[in-house]
A and B are shown apart, each in its own frame.
Chain A
Amino acid sequence: MIYYIIRRVLYAFPLLMGVNILTFVLFFVVNSPDDMARMQLGQKHVTQQAVENWKQQRGYNLPLLWNEQADNPVSETIFYQKSVHLFAFDFGMSDSGRNIGTDIKQRMWPSLAVALPSLLVGLMVNISLALMVVLFRSTYLETLGIISCVMLMSISGLFYIIGGQFLLSKLLLLVPISGYDSGFEGVKFLLLPVLIAVVSGIGSGVRWYRTLFLEEVEKDYVRTARAKGLTETQVLFGHVLKNAMLPILTGVVAILPLLFMGSLLTESFFSIPGLGSYVIDAINRQDFAIVRSMVFLGSVLYIIGLLLTDISYTLVDPRVRLS
């Protein structure tokens, strides 16, 4: 398995380089270094000299990808200077002068504080409801459950947020409408976003797990279990759930690393200082240093997620071996 992991890590390098080049090209097709400088310098009293100074200080006065006049045409470019350190996880300074690594370290915890409970509570709720729907399969309760799921899926995420804030914070005055705090003080701020994340995910989550359980419920071992005289509840919780855990677990493991990246909409509406809002702010401010770092980090986390999925397969199912 060690060789497999090493091989996958080595595969990641060209992949990350490709993502990096793509981000770079897409960003600079839309924004030139001059545009970035003008965005940072504001609108008043900005002269070309000020723009040139800004570019020189931040290394944006170099050619983008190829520098014919330099001894080394590749290394004396914006792409090389801004990309090579990323592979050592040195994100450098943002275009407004802040250390990106420090910002990421600060901001990933609030993102995680919302995403992790949302994921865990969501899993429990969705699996329980999906098992109930399967328990009552072929009855009016299943039809009712499916219709409810489709209805929940059809509602926009924004509606859940605004509706939740309106009902629980504005009308019933039960929780703060927005905000964030660290430690135990922060729990009251997390209740509403977590509740909204869970409720908004029920529709798709229940349907997805129901499909997994229905696949299992028709298998031979289930029939054997029933023939042994087990009740339907014992069959579902004792046998079906255990066997359906493989796709559930691998699906969850794949998204675990991405939990750090946060949610744009939730963080923005609840004023949660996480990484989701960090990216959008950077795009709005045309801060290439942050955009590039966050895309790189997202790619790395995605690759780690896939790798963890593969590893979790071997742990859950002893028949699977990585080679």
Chain B
Amino acid sequence: MKNFPVFAKHSWILLTVLLASCDVSQLNSPYPENEAKQAVLYSTFSEQPKHLDPAISYSADEYQIIGQIYEPPFQYHYLKRPYQIVPLTAAKMPVVRYLDAQGQLLGQNPEPGKIAFTDYIIEIQPGIKYQPHPALATDASGKFLYHHLAEAELSNINTLADFPQTGSRELIAEDYVYQIKRLANRKNQSPIAELMKGYIVGFDEFAKNLAKQPDKKLTDLSISGATALSRYQYRIRIKGKYPQFKYWLAMLFFAPMPWEAENFYAQAGLKEKNITLDWFPIGTGAYLLSENNPNKRMVLSKNPQSHLETYPAEGEPADKERGLLKDAGKKLPFIDKEIYTLEKESIPRWNKFLQGYYDDSGIASDSFDQAVQISGVGDMQLTPVMQEKGINLETSVMATIDYLGFNMLDSVVGGNSEAARKLRLAISIAIDYEEFIAIFRNGRAIAAQGVLPPGIYGADERSINPYVYEPTGKRKSIKVAQQLLAEAGYPNGIDPKTKEALTLFFDTSSVSIDARAVMNWYRKQLEKLGINLVIRATDYNRFQEKIRTGNAQLFLWGWNADYPDPENFFFLLYGGNAKVKYGGENTVNYQNPQFDRLFEEMRSMDDGPKRYQLVQQMQEILRHDAPWIFGFHPKDFVLSHSWYQNLKPNLMANNKLKYTRIDTVARAEKRTAWNKAIFWPLWLIMLLLVLILLPVLRAYQQRLRASLK
């Protein structure tokens, strides 16, 4: 009892602490406190990027990082639709000149047959500078500080930030030419090298020449199809006419690279420490990669050397109402930093988004019902919980097609015979993609009516595939499919050769439990016709091999557009790209001379009524021949918090971060309100433990007494 007052005093302190702790907010915050009111955007990545070198990188995950750093000469307008190419580092749109086989200039609209070469003359803006980087650091005499690092210097270097000095220099036309040489350099393994070989003049010769002289530097050799005409002007010469080349000039493959960077990163000591050009970009963009830990997080910070760029003043008519033009004319970028955190699992990612720790999020299928509900009229809308939090939903149809391919080399479903065509059409009708979208994609797709997704030039959103759908837009009845099947020689699905149900084989590399449900659904769709579908599930490598060798019969495949032009979809069915014969992207090995001729004509045409007409003709041929079941175009659903501003879906642009704005005050307030820690269940658990321990203590004392006796 003597100690009671001390105990009581301490109890009061303890109680005060406990009561105070009841109002503690953001104990669960994954970020340091000092970041709370900074203009930082928090996002995630689920897979470690493989490449950050613009000559090699070719995936959306990687582009979300390097798209903010590297700047090709052109970019997509952020707000305007249909997608439009506008200058980025270029001073104006490229001057396009046509030449004949002798290299003589042709007029503005020459006959396509006379065009042997096309020149793209690009003028870049003077005064654009590279981000501060050790590769560009020089001493007073102009000598590079870190191009010949000694072992002792390297011992203190573990990341790029460890270099005490950085430098910068002006962007020049030669840097763009240098990057084209890098695309050709076989050591870099650029995924578009083989493709560009067919377009850029002298590309292949340069690659071969370089391979023969491995000691030569890229600056020592010239490439005939890419030349710097002056400090700020360069020319790319391509074979024939290829109007889609302008889209390639808006892709990161054609971003500039200073030769100093390659020299710097070529040092063996840096490579050993994973300091390579493939991991530490150097660009002129609005951001630079200030922290590069692909195992944990990647941080983009504002580039202090970024050139002047302003928020667009024009967009679609509805953009003004949606507040997307509020920042018109203001200097970009708005955000100081973007932090991408590695988040592999969907549950923590989703919960952090709901707690306000991520500013945007996609919707995983297991969280879909929490986020979105379907209204009485069939519209997708946010659930009341999401609306209460002020979360916004943006949806857009992706420039992607997921299709079911018929191998045209197959003796049953392939070939140009009328019977095979009718069999393919019957299956096209039977497989109800509207049902598939409702069951397996939570309504997040639209059934495809042809090859072209909406938004691509030539895609008529009102046009319906008349072979599969009624004019009303309703899928044709199964009776029509059965009739077609009978005309194909399989009445009621019976194969006359075996007198049993026709058996078809469905090849897939999806072997998960979820995929099994999808495969069963496909099997049931064909059961409607009396066809027996056998699922041949195999690993990814074997599946790819089957496609390469033409040993698959029915299979699923997809394509995501490189650029918004019909050529980038129709080439998937061009005979010259047949997978088995030429190793191209025509996975179904479809060959139709009429289609091929139209394709060749269409791809070199500029947009206009004639090209539009050709596109419709080609679409009609494909609908008639049905080498694909057109499947669906996925819809992208993006959720963002109320403080996330200027968000407009743009499926082509990679450099969207600079347009984004964050209301940091609103974010801080909401985070505080949403993340008040709850302690009472802990006290309850502790009380329960004490209650459990009391009989234990009693039993122990009894045992002790018994042993003493």
Give the interface of A toward B (CB within 8 A).
Answer: 30-32, 35, 38-42, 44-50, 53-54, 57, 96-99, 101-103, 106-107, 132, 135-136, 139, 141, 162, 165, 169-180, 185, 188-189, 226, 231-233, 268-271, 273, 277-278, 281, 285
Whether a CB of chain A sits under 8 angstroms from the CB of B186 is yes
**Binary flags per residue of B55-94, CB closer than 8 Å to A gives 1, else 0:** 0001100000000000000000000000000000000000
**Which of B25-33, B107-115, B652-660 binds A?**
B25-33
- What are 7 inter-chain pairs, A to B, with CB distance below 8 A? A39-B540, A45-B191, A96-B51, A97-B278, A99-B274, A135-B703, A232-B703
Whether a CB of chain A sits under 8 angstroms from the CB of B700 is yes
Whether a CB of chain A sits under 8 angstroms from the CB of B677 is yes
**Binary flags per residue of B172-206, CB closer than 8 Å to A gives 1, else 0:** 00000000000000110101111100000000000
Tell me the bound Cα distance from A188 to B703 in angstroms.
Answer: 41
Q: Contacts of A169 on B, CB cut-off 8 Å? A: 28, 351
Whether B194 lies near A172 (C-beta < 8 A) is no
Tell me the bound Cα distance from A175 to B355 in angstroms.
Answer: 12
Whether A50 lies near B194 (C-beta < 8 A) is yes
Whether B342 lies near A40 (C-beta < 8 A) is no
Whether B296 lies near A273 (C-beta < 8 A) is yes
For residue B538, give the distance in angstroms from its CB to the closest CB of chain A.
11
Most chain B beta carbons < 10 A, residue from A50, A107, A231: A50
**Binary flags per residue of B441-472, CB closer than 8 Å to A gives 1, else 0:** 00000000000000000000000000000000
Whether B342 lies near A57 (C-beta < 8 A) is no
- Near A by CB (< 8 A), chain B positions 251-285 give 271-274, 276, 278-279
Q: Contacts of B700 on A, CB cut-off 8 Å? A: 135-136
Tell me the bound Cα distance from A22 to B273 in angstroms.
Answer: 30
Most chain A beta carbons < 10 A, residue from B273, B541, B544, B675: B541
Whether B541 lies near A30 (C-beta < 8 A) is yes
List 18 extra interface pairs beyond A232-B704, A273-B342, CB under 8 A.
A38-B541, A39-B541, A45-B192, A45-B585, A54-B189, A103-B295, A106-B295, A169-B28, A173-B678, A174-B679, A174-B682, A178-B343, A179-B341, A231-B704, A271-B343, A271-B348, A273-B293, A285-B50
- Of all A-B residue pairs in the complex, the 3 with the closest CB atoms, nearest first, are A273-B295, A178-B348, A35-B541
Most chain B beta carbons < 10 A, residue from A38, A46, A50, A271: A271
User: Which B residue sits closest to A52, measured CB to CB?
Assistant: B186
Whether A57 lies near B187 (C-beta < 8 A) is yes
Q: Contacts of B189 on A, CB cut-off 8 Å? A: 41, 50, 53-54, 57
Whether A141 lies near B699 (C-beta < 8 A) is yes
Whether a CB of chain A sits under 8 angstroms from the CB of B149 is no
Q: Contacts of A136 on B, CB cut-off 8 Å? A: 696, 699-700, 703
Tell me the bound Cα distance from A179 to B28 in angstroms.
Answer: 11
Whether a CB of chain A sits under 8 angstroms from the CB of B376 is no
For residue B271, give the distance in angstroms from its CB to the closest CB of chain A.
7
Given contacts A106-B295, A281-B48, contact A176 B541 (CB under 8 A): no
Q: Contacts of B47 on A, CB cut-off 8 Å? A: 281
Given contacts A45-B195, A176-B29, A271-B342, contact A107 B272 (CB under 8 A): no
Cβ-neighbour of B348 out of A107, A139, A270 (below 8 A):
A270
Cβ-neighbour of A173 out of B676, B703, B708 (below 8 A):
B676
Whether A31 lies near B699 (C-beta < 8 A) is no
Whether A268 lies near B58 (C-beta < 8 A) is no
Q: Contacts of B296 on A, CB cut-off 8 Å? A: 180, 271, 273
Given contacts A44-B191, A96-B51, A231-B707, contact A176 B28 (CB under 8 A): yes
For residue B631, give the distance in angstroms from its CB to the closest CB of chain A.
17
Tell me the bound Cα distance from A176 to B704 in angstroms.
Answer: 44
Cβ-neighbour of A179 out of B30, B58, B187, B678 (below 8 A):
B30
Q: Contacts of A172 on B, CB cut-off 8 Å? A: 677-679, 681-682
Whether B699 lies near A38 (C-beta < 8 A) is no
For residue B116, give the distance in angstroms from its CB to the closest CB of chain A.
25
Cβ-neighbour of A141 out of B32, B676, B696 (below 8 A):
B696
Whether a CB of chain A sits under 8 angstroms from the CB of B139 is no
**Binary flags per residue of B333-345, CB closer than 8 Å to A gives 1, else 0:** 0000000011111
Whether B544 lies near A38 (C-beta < 8 A) is yes
Tell me the bound Cα distance from A308 to B532 in angstroms.
Answer: 61
Q: Contacts of A47 on B, CB cut-off 8 Å? A: 194, 583
Tell me the bound Cα distance from A275 to B645 in angstroms.
Answer: 38
Give the interface of B toward A (CB within 8 A).
Answer: 27-30, 32, 47-48, 50-51, 58-59, 186-187, 189, 191-195, 271-274, 276, 278-279, 293, 295-296, 341-345, 347-348, 351-352, 355, 539-541, 544-545, 562, 583, 585, 675-679, 681-682, 695-696, 699-700, 703-704, 707-708
Tell me the bound Cα distance from A7 to B401 in angstroms.
Answer: 62
User: Which A residue sits closest to B59, measured CB to CB?
Assistant: A42
Tell me the bound Cα distance from A98 to B274 in angstroms.
Answer: 6
Q: Contacts of A162 on B, CB cut-off 8 Å? A: 347
Q: Contacts of B351 on A, CB cut-off 8 Å? A: 165, 169-170, 177
Whether A173 lies near B675 (C-beta < 8 A) is yes
Whether A175 lies near B28 (C-beta < 8 A) is yes
For residue B211, give the distance in angstroms from its CB to the closest CB of chain A.
9
For residue B232, give the distance in angstroms from its CB to the closest CB of chain A.
31
Q: Contacts of B50 on A, CB cut-off 8 Å? A: 40, 96, 285
Q: Contacts of B59 on A, CB cut-off 8 Å? A: 42
For residue A260, give the distance in angstroms from its CB to the closest CB of chain B.
15
For residue A79, give the distance in angstroms from its CB to the closest CB of chain B.
20
Q: Contacts of B58 on A, CB cut-off 8 Å? A: 42, 44
Q: Contacts of B675 on A, CB cut-off 8 Å? A: 173
Most chain B beta carbons < 10 A, residue from A42, A47, A102, A176: A176
Whether B541 lies near A177 (C-beta < 8 A) is no
Tell me the bound Cα distance from A176 to B357 in angstroms.
Answer: 10
Whether A45 lies near B194 (C-beta < 8 A) is yes
Whether B677 lies near A102 (C-beta < 8 A) is no
Tell me the bound Cα distance from A90 to B708 in angstroms.
Answer: 65
Tell me the bound Cα distance from A278 to B681 in angstroms.
Answer: 37
Whether A102 lies near B274 (C-beta < 8 A) is yes
Tell me the bound Cα distance from A27 to B677 in angstroms.
Answer: 48
Q: Contacts of B708 on A, CB cut-off 8 Å? A: 231
Tell me the bound Cα distance from A188 to B30 in angstroms.
Answer: 8
For residue B4, give the distance in angstroms from its CB to the closest CB of chain A.
28
Whether A99 lies near B348 (C-beta < 8 A) is no
Whether A132 lies near B696 (C-beta < 8 A) is yes
Whether B678 lies near A41 (C-beta < 8 A) is no
Q: Contacts of A40 on B, CB cut-off 8 Å? A: 50
Tell me the bound Cα distance from A31 to B678 in angstroms.
Answer: 51
Q: Contacts of A31 on B, CB cut-off 8 Å? A: 541
For residue B580, give the distance in angstroms from its CB to the closest CB of chain A.
12
Tell me the bound Cα distance from A40 to B58 in angstroms.
Answer: 11
Q: Contacts of B187 on A, CB cut-off 8 Å? A: 57
Tell me the bound Cα distance from A55 to B695 in angstroms.
Answer: 70
Tell me the bound Cα distance from A97 to B51 in angstroms.
Answer: 9
Q: Contacts of A48 on B, CB cut-off 8 Å? A: 583
Q: Contacts of A57 on B, CB cut-off 8 Å? A: 187, 189
User: Which A residue sits closest to B582, measured CB to CB?
Assistant: A47
Tell me the bound Cα distance from A304 to B302 in angstroms.
Answer: 48
Whether A165 lies near B348 (C-beta < 8 A) is yes
User: Which B residue sits closest to A101, measured CB to CB?
Assistant: B272
User: Which B residue sits closest to A102, measured CB to CB?
Assistant: B274
Q: Contacts of A171 on B, CB cut-off 8 Å? A: 678, 681
Q: Contacts of B676 on A, CB cut-off 8 Å? A: 173
For residue A182, give the distance in angstroms from its CB to the closest CB of chain B.
9
User: Which A residue sits closest to B186, measured CB to CB?
Assistant: A53
Whether B585 lies near A35 (C-beta < 8 A) is no
Q: Contacts of A231 on B, CB cut-off 8 Å? A: 704, 707-708
Q: Contacts of A107 on B, CB cut-off 8 Å? A: 295
User: Which B residue sits closest to A97, measured CB to CB?
Assistant: B278
Q: Contacts of A165 on B, CB cut-off 8 Å? A: 347-348, 351
Whether A269 lies near B345 (C-beta < 8 A) is yes
